[in-house]
């Protein structure tokens, strides 16, 4: 079965691909993005007065962010919007709220109005590196569908599909397995109108003349639907969920230990009208999630912590996924850069393939954070006793065990020299900097890649057994 998938899937993308860039969102350490040229701790505090109320914001335990490097320019609409929120509240906003506005503000959010992926964008993801990535995800979905008993209808959901490249390669790669593709109803969870248009184009969608609201992907003859949230995807049928580089963009709250205990890190506007970080004067609502996350940590982990980064939206999303999988059957595959440990301080901003200041020119750079995989595991297990969680394992182990090595060998049989060079470069970027079982390449030709920086985790209905390749 695997051999058939690996040798018969289409190689149309390969024939037109060039040598992929070697930069991804994980190819630089995220822990450097806030620490360049730190200044000494500031003893400054800010007092905001309202009738009958005084709020004192303490900055004594914080480093002052580096000075903004760009020249003074007129404020953007997003900057004005963020400042108006802070002014209306009479105090700072959470890092999570800042991050959500920067990324998904309907008018000026980073993802909302343009294509941000690839060499001409701000960062590159695994599906853009090589067609083999989407093909291997296709292998995973077909294998799990087999374990599910080959249901006649399946909701195949992708969270944050980007350009639609992964889904397009998955459909091409599995197109010969008609019973599988005919069972699919594709649901893309995407809030960006600009990216929805790209997905429609790359999936070669056409309107079904028999229904005004039905859209069909000509790649496999499957219906395609778009939604703003996972909750909008119909339930009641088995569901396969793919979340590739989705969790890293979900908002995070940051906490810092101070003389008063744990305080939340917030975003405020200073006297110079620039954004700056401050500490909350008292516990915030997100502290409930902090306590939950710390309860899952070991005493040794808790003793070493000075900073903690948590994502309540990640926990809530995982619980929604687990409840759906537990009741309807199916599974979820999560691949992202992160750690199998509690996260300290990883929030980063990337613009044009370079790290920039998080508070600099909001809306012009991607914001992302390391994924807390133990938090995903605990959230899923807490939400449903009918699911099991497997992993994480490295992307190199995941792709290697599914047979990417056999797939690259098959593709190399029909390549010219230029295509073969591109294929090998893409392969090593996906599995490099880590174990690449069954297929060895010269060390000097192995670029720093995503092999160990990215981790894979699966959540499945217990009745379906252990999914490939986690056995």
Q: What is the pLDDT of residues 294-306, one digit of tens each?
A: 999 988 888 888 9
pLDDT at 24 over 70: no
Q: Tell me the mean pLDDT in the region 325-331.
A: 98
Distance between CA atoms of residues 326 and 380, nearest Å: 10
In which band, very low, low, confident or very high, does the pLDDT at 39 lie, cut at 50, 70 and 90? very low
**Percent of the chain's residues with pLDDT above 90:** 59
Q: What is the DSSP string of 222-258?
A: EEEEEESSGGGS--SS-EEEEEES-GGGS--EEEEEE
What integer pLDDT is reported at residue 218 of this predicted model? 86
- Supply the pTM of this predicted model: 0.82
pLDDT at 250 over 50: yes
**What SS3 class is residue 308?**
strand
pLDDT at 441 over 60: no
Q: What is the pLDDT of residues 144-193, one digit of tens each?
A: 999 999 999 999 999 999 989 999 999 999 999 999 999 999 999 999 88
Q: What is the DSSP string of 99-145?
A: HHHHHH-TTT-TTTSS--BSTTSSB--HHHH-HHHHHHHHHHHHHHH
What integer pLDDT is reported at residue 212 of this predicted model? 53
What integer pLDDT is reported at residue 58 of this predicted model? 56
What integer pLDDT is reported at residue 73 of this predicted model? 62
pLDDT at 9 over 60: no
What integer pLDDT is reported at residue 390 of this predicted model? 98
Q: Tell me the mean pLDDT in the region 8-33.
A: 40
What integer pLDDT is reported at residue 433 of this predicted model? 73
Q: What is the pLDDT of residues 63-84, one digit of tens each?
A: 454 544 445 568 999 999 999 9
Q: Tell me the mean pLDDT in the region 368-389.
A: 97
**Percent of the chain's residues with pLDDT above 70:** 78
Map out the domains of the chain as residue ranges: 2-29+118-250+313-464, 35-114+253-296
What integer pLDDT is reported at residue 415 of this predicted model? 87
What integer pLDDT is reported at residue 249 of this predicted model? 93
CA angle (68, 69, 75) in 5-degree steps: 60
Domain 2-29+118-250+313-464 has what CATH class? alpha beta
pLDDT at 56 over 60: no
What integer pLDDT is reported at residue 260 of this predicted model? 87
Q: Which residue has the higher pLDDT, 393 or 350?
A: 393
- Where is 406: in which H helix or E strand? helix 404-412
Distance between CA atoms of residues 368 and 347, nearest Å: 6
What integer pLDDT is reported at residue 121 of this predicted model? 54
Q: What is the pLDDT of residues 185-241, one digit of tens each?
A: 999 999 988 899 999 999 999 876 555 567 888 888 899 999 999 999 999 999 999
């Amino acid at each position: 079965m695997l051999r058939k998938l690996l040798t018969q899937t289409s190689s149309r993308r390969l024939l037109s691909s060039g040598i992929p860039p070697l930069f991804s969102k994980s190819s630089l350490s995220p822990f450097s993005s806030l620490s360049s040229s730190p200044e000494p701790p500031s003893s400054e505090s800010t007092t905001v007065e309202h009738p009958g109320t005084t709020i004192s914001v303490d900055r004594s335990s914080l480093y002052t962010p580096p000075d903004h490097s760009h020249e003074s320019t007129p404020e953007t609409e997003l900057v004005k919007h963020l400042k108006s929120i802070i002014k209306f509240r009479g105090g700072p906003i959470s890092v999570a709220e800042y991050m959500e506005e920067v990324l998904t503000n309907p008018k000026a959010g980073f993802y909302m109005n343009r294509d941000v992926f690839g060499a001409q964008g701000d960062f590159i993801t695994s599906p853009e590196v090589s067609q083999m990535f989407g093909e291997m995800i296709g292998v995973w979905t077909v294998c799990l569908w087999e374990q599910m008993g080959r249901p006649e209808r399946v909701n195949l959901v992708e969270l944050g599909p980007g350009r639609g490249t992964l889904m397009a390669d998955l459909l091409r790669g599995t197109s010969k397995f008609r019973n599988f593709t005919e069972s699919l109803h594709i649901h893309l969870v995407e809030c960006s109108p600009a990216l929805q248009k790209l997905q429609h184009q790359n999936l070669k969608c056409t309107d079904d003349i028999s229904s005004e609201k039905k859209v069909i992907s000509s790649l496999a003859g499957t219906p395609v639907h778009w939604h703003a949230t996972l909750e909008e995807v119909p339930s009641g049928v088995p569901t396969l969920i793919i979340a590739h580089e989705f969790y890293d963009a979900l908002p995070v709250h940051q906490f810092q230990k101070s003389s008063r205990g744990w305080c939340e890190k917030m975003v405020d506007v200073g006297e110079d009208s620039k954004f700056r970080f401050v500490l909350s004067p008292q516990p915030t609502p997100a502290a409930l999630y902090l306590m939950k996350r710390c309860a899952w940590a070991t005493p040794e982990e808790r003793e070493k912590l000075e900073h903690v980064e948590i994502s309540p939206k990640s926990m809530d999303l995982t619980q929604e996924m687990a409840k759906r999988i537990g009741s309807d059957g199916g599974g979820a595959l999560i691949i992202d850069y992160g750690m199998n440990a509690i996260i300290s301080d990883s929030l980063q901003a990337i613009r044009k393939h370079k790290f920039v200041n998080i508070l600099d020119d909001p809306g012009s750079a991607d914001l992302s954070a390391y994924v807390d995989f133990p938090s995903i595991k605990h959230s899923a297990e807490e939400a449903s006793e009918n699911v099991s969680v497997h992993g994480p394992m490295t992307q190199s182990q995941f792709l290697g065990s599914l047979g990417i090595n056999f797939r690259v060998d098959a593709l190399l049989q029909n390549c010219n020299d230029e295509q073969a060079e591109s294929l090998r470069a893409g392969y090593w970027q996906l599995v490099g900097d880590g174990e690449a079982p069954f297929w060895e390449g010269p060390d000097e030709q192995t670029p720093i890649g995503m092999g160990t920086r990215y981790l894979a985790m699966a959540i499945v209905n217990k009745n379906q057994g252990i999914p490939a390749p986690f056995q």
